[in-house]
Amino acid sequence: TEAGETIRATLFPGDGIGPEIAESVKQVFNVAGVPIEWEEHYVGTEVDPRTESFLTWESLESVRRNKVGLKGPMATPIGKGHRSLNLTLRKELGLYANVRPCNSLPGYKTRYDDVNLVTIRENTEGEYSGLEHQVVRGVVESLKIITRQASLRVAEYAFHYAKTNGRERVSAIHKANIMRKTDGLFLKCCREVAEKYPEITYEEVIIDNCCMTLVKNPGTFDVLVMPNLYGDIISDLCAGLIGGLGLTPSCNIGEGGICLAEAVHGSAPDISGKNLANPTALMLSAVMMLRHLQFNDQADRIHNAILQTIAEGKYRTADLGGKSSTSDYTKVVCDHI
Amino acid sequence: TEAGETIRATLFPGDGIGPEIAESVKQVFNVAGVPIEWEEHYVGTEVDPRTESFLTWESLESVRRNKVGLKGPMATPIGKGHRSLNLTLRKELGLYANVRPCNSLPGYKTRYDDVNLVTIRENTEGEYSGLEHQVVRGVVESLKIITRQASLRVAEYAFHYAKTNGRERVSAIHKANIMRKTDGLFLKCCREVAEKYPEITYEEVIIDNCCMTLVKNPGTFDVLVMPNLYGDIISDLCAGLIGGLGLTPSCNIGEGGICLAEAVHGSAPDISGKNLANPTALMLSAVMMLRHLQFNDQADRIHNAILQTIAEGKYRTADLGGKSSTSDYTKVVCDHI
Ligand SMILES: CC(C)[C@H](C(=O)O)[C@@H](O)C(=O)O
Ligand SMILES: CC(C)[C@H](C(=O)O)[C@@H](O)C(=O)O
């Protein structure tokens, strides 16, 4: 990105509290002078046959064109004849890696103060194949699919991430002692990629043992890479260590270099429209997007302002035990930029 | 069990530290006057064709006959042409539920002091079907099988356990938002059983959210019931909350009323034979076996003696940061009985 250039990025404010927290991001971006022009897309009110979901075709085209975007929470409407919004996005945009840096926040006390790890989740296959059927009455089966292509792709991303982010170790999480062929293939791919990164330590950790170690001593982990379901579980477990999904940024890496940053918490309809939501996860996700665009200066300033605001502890939203409104908290972050 | 009667029980001391910690159990049972006569069985030195594993046919027959047993750690020898020892036991004895009470130990400090829950894991099917194959080069699949029969059986056990152990709530852990048919069937079975226990509160919790809540606030859970792999993961996570597998008892419920209590930690070959192992998990598992036999008086006395020894903190094995040998620690427990 050249100096002075304006970047177009897609914004999905999402549902519930989404629009409010997206507004917070716009404000901090303005104050930090981020040269981004948003293309805003809302979830549609009817199923778009081209996406088989409430997502509009235009919104997906916008991400494909801009290759960068930010997404708030999206609750899939209940009913038949359409696909989940989140799963459709992953599928249609080939979002193959979900990346979640997970760091203890100075000043926000949990039972852990030593978390500094990154989970990298394969995001397209595994237990999420959607292939299930009843064999005979009372016996159902579900297919977990592991491919060499998707495993190599996410492993490559994990090692590349480790190298370019000054990380020292990649742990592949698996249950290959039981699922020898599927998780075995995943490990084989990780080992192949590991050979190309001799400067990064590579290890393999069985998922049950990984979860036990995470709750005892999360400081022992650095970068974790894993198949879809393990990633779903472990990334939320890790979020819990630092205080929950309201504090955890995430970003999805997709085919053709797409980066779709995303707050992974829910849309909290109970507090929506009340100026009570915590915009931190979306703001931190937006920071990940800025780093992807190499707007490092703005990313650092916004990131530090958020950390400072939380560390000071005076302005916090209700989910963190504080009394601030979304807009007051956002204003303090803006003041700190 | 009538007064004065002697019960025959099978004992698998297991490998590595197994025989040492089994010796500790024998000592505390002697001191507490438990009327049990052990039938001791070791893992064989060659594959028994009738079990397709290093387990002898006679040892399985012993458990089938006695219907009650205690098992130390067993490391499956590496090589082909035989089955895993643990999986063979589960399969051959129809050990359909793995039960693990998980309680913070007074005086043994971890990051949590409010853990008081029980995990009940379906132990025979799910992701452990062993059915995997390569579809085409680079594409492998694994079958997860959920049956109505096994799901009802473990759900029945969980609700029965809750009721007979003064527990108030059963949470079924699942990922039915993704695996609608398999985990959906599991939930359907849990709901059916729940209807028969109106006095027990029933809830359903998605596994990622469950793990996040467990690390933030484990006190919110009571009894958790779940399919095989989730149980594998969550039971070890919970063990981590209270200090690890060296402190966590477990017991397997099998077809025809079998109860095989089991220490689920490893065989720790590095310290085996050195009088350094921690016998706590095996002793607490033996207590579960005693409760199953309704030797409640002896169970209480042994249980309290273990808790007291750990709470006093003076005699602890090295894994808990202490300096006691296995035999010294065991002696103190015996003194407290
Ligand atoms: C909502 C659900 C389908 C989703 C998942 O399981 O991937 C969520 O848990 C997540 O992690 O983004
Ligand atoms: C050793 C392994 C096969 C086993 C399992 O996955 O069930 C272990 O982790 C357990 O929980 O008993």
Contact A233 B245 (CB under 8 A): no
Instruction: Answer whether B290's CB lies under 8 Å from B283's CB.
Output: no
CA distances from B218 to A109, A320, B102, B240 (A): 17, 18, 10, 12
What is the spatial distance between Cα A210 and Cα A226, in angstroms, rounded to a whole number? 11
Query: Between residues 54 and 93 of chain B, which touch chain A (CB distance below 8 Å)?
Result: none
Counting one residue from chain A and one from chain B, the pairs whose CB atoms sit within 8 A come to 157
**Backbone φ/ψ region at B267: left (φ over 0), alpha (ψ -120 to 50), beta:** alpha
- Smallest CA separation from ligand 1 atom 7, residue: A232
Are B144 and A148 inside 8 Å of each other by CB? Answer: no
Task: State residue B78's pLDDT score.
Answer: 85
Mean pLDDT of chain B: 96
3-class state of residue A51 by DSSP: coil
Rounded CA separation B244/B277 (Å)? 14
Q: pLDDT in tens for each of the 337 residues of chain A?
A: 455 689 999 999 999 999 999 999 999 999 999 999 999 999 999 999 999 999 999 999 999 999 999 999 999 888 888 999 999 999 999 999 999 999 999 999 999 998 999 999 999 999 999 999 999 999 999 999 999 999 999 999 999 999 999 999 999 999 999 999 999 999 999 999 999 999 999 999 999 999 999 999 999 999 999 999 999 999 999 999 999 999 999 999 999 999 999 999 999 999 999 999 999 999 999 999 999 999 999 999 999 999 999 999 999 999 999 999 999 999 999 999 9
Q: Which atom of ligand 1 is nearest to the CA of A228?
A: 7
Task: Decide if A142 and B139 are in contact by the 8 Å CB cutoff.
Answer: no
Q: For residue A127, give the ligand nearest its CA.
A: 1
pLDDT of residue A77: 87
Q: What is the pLDDT of residue B3?
A: 58
Per-residue pLDDT at B197? 98
Tokens of residue B30, six digits: 């002697």
Name the nearest CA neighbour of B158 among B141, B170, B146: B170
In tens, the pLDDT along B131-181 reads 999 999 999 999 999 999 999 999 999 999 999 999 999 999 999 999 999
- Ligand 2 and A212: CB distance under 6 A: no
Residue A202, min C-alpha distance to chain B (Å): 22
Burial class (CB in 10 A: 0-12, 13-18, 19+), A1: exposed
Spatial separation of the C-alpha atoms in residues A110 and B177, rounded to whole Å: 29
Asked if A259 and A67 count as a contact pair (C-beta separation under 8 A), the reply is: yes
CB-based burial label for B263 (10 Å; 0-12, 13-18, 19+): buried
Q: Is the pLDDT of residue B1 over 60?
A: no
Residue in B140, B178, B211 nearest the CB of A236: B211
The mean pLDDT of B206-228, rounded to a whole number, is 98
Q: A142: buried, middle or exposed (CB in 10 Å: 19+, 13-18, 0-12)? A: buried
pLDDT at B83 over 60: yes
Give me the DSSP letters along A264-281: -S---GGGTTTT----HH
Contact B170, B194 (CB under 8 A): yes
Is the Cβ atom of B232 under 6 angstroms away from ligand 2? yes
Helix axes B18-32, B280-292, angle to 10 degrees: 50
**Cβ(A281)–Cβ(A249) under 8 Å?**
yes
Q: CA A206 to CA B233: how far, in whole Å?
A: 10
| B279-316 pLDDT per residue, tens | 999 999 999 999 999 999 999 999 999 999 999 999 99
Q: What is the rounded distance in angstroms from the CA atom of residue B24 to the CA atom of residue B263?
A: 13
Best A102, A113, A139, A238 residue to mutate vs chain B (most B CBs within 10 Å): A139
Give the Cα separation of A12 and B242 in Å (integer). 42
pLDDT of residue B148: 98
Residues from chain B that touch A184, judged by Cβ atoms under 8 A, are 140
Identify the bridge partners of residue B117 per DSSP, sorted by sequence position. Answer: B102
A170 or B83, which is more confident? A170
**Which secondary structure element, helix H or strand E, spans residue B237, and what is its range?**
helix B228-242
Residues A27 and A334: beta-carbon distance below 8 Å: yes
Is the beta carbon of B183 within 6 A of some atom in ligand 2? no
Angle (nearest 5°) at CA B24 between B20 and B28: 170
Res. B81 pLDDT band, cuts 50 70 90: confident
Report the distance separating Cα A150 and Cα A98, nearest Å: 13
Write the pLDDT tens digit of every residue in B197-215: 999 999 999 999 999 999 9
pLDDT of residue A2: 53
Q: Which chain B residues are Cβ-neighbours of A148 within 8 angstroms?
A: 137-139
Cβ under 8 Å to A: B residues 234-273: 234-237, 239-241, 243-245
Closest-CA residue to B252 (of B18, B83, B67, B9): B67
Q: CB–CB of A108/A310 below 8 Å?
A: yes
Query: Do B208 and A148 count as a contact with CB atoms less than 8 A apart?
Result: no
**What is the CA angle A22-A288-A26, rounded to 5?**
25
Q: From the centroid of its chain, how far is CA B245?
A: 10
**Which of A141, A179, A212 comes nearest B240 by C-beta?**
A212
Tell me, what's the pLDDT at A5? 81
What's the pLDDT at B18?
Answer: 97
Torsion, Cα B22 B28 B29 B33, to 10 degrees, reads: 160
Asked if pLDDT for residue B2 goes beyond 60, the answer is no
Closest-CA residue of chain A to B127 = A179
- pTM (predicted TM-score): 0.96
Neighbours of B326 (CB within 10 A): 21
Residue A161 is predicted with a pLDDT of 98
Greater pLDDT, B80 or A90: A90
Give the chain B residue nearest A184 (alpha carbons).
B140
For an interface test with A, the pick among B127, B174, B210, B226 (most A C-beta atoms closer than 10 Å) comes out as B127
B256 vs B96: CA distance, rounded Å: 11
8 Å CB contact between A122 and A226? yes
A40 Cβ under 8 Å from any chain B Cβ: no
Q: Is A296 in the pocket of ligand 2 (CB under 6 A)?
A: no
**A217 Cβ closer than 6 Å to some ligand 2 atom:** no
Residue nearest to atom 9 of ligand 1 (CA): A232
CA-closest candidate to residue B213, choices B225, B201, B205, B203: B205
User: d(Cα A334, Cα A27) in Å, to the nearest integer?
Assistant: 7
Strands B251-254 and B95-103: antiparallel
Q: Amino acid identity, residue A4? A: G
- How far is A306 from chain B, CA to nearest CA, in Å? 22
Q: Say whether A232 and B175 touch across the interface (CB within 8 A).
A: yes
Note the pLDDT tens digit of each residue in B93-129: 999 999 999 999 999 999 999 899 999 999 999 999 9
From B84, B232, B252, B264, mutation site for ligand 2 pocket: most ligand atoms within 8 A of C-beta: B232
**Residues of A whose CB is below 8 A from B138:** 147-149, 185
Distance CA B136, CA B6 (A): 58
- Find the residue in B nearest to A78 (Cα): B177
Using alpha carbons, select from A277, A264, A337 the residue that is nearest to residue A307.
A337
Contact A194/A225 with Cβ under 8 angstroms? no
Residue partners of B174: CB distance under 8 A and separation at least 6: B183, B186, B187, B204, B205, B206, B207, B226, B227, B230
Q: Do B182 and A110 touch (CB under 8 A)?
A: no
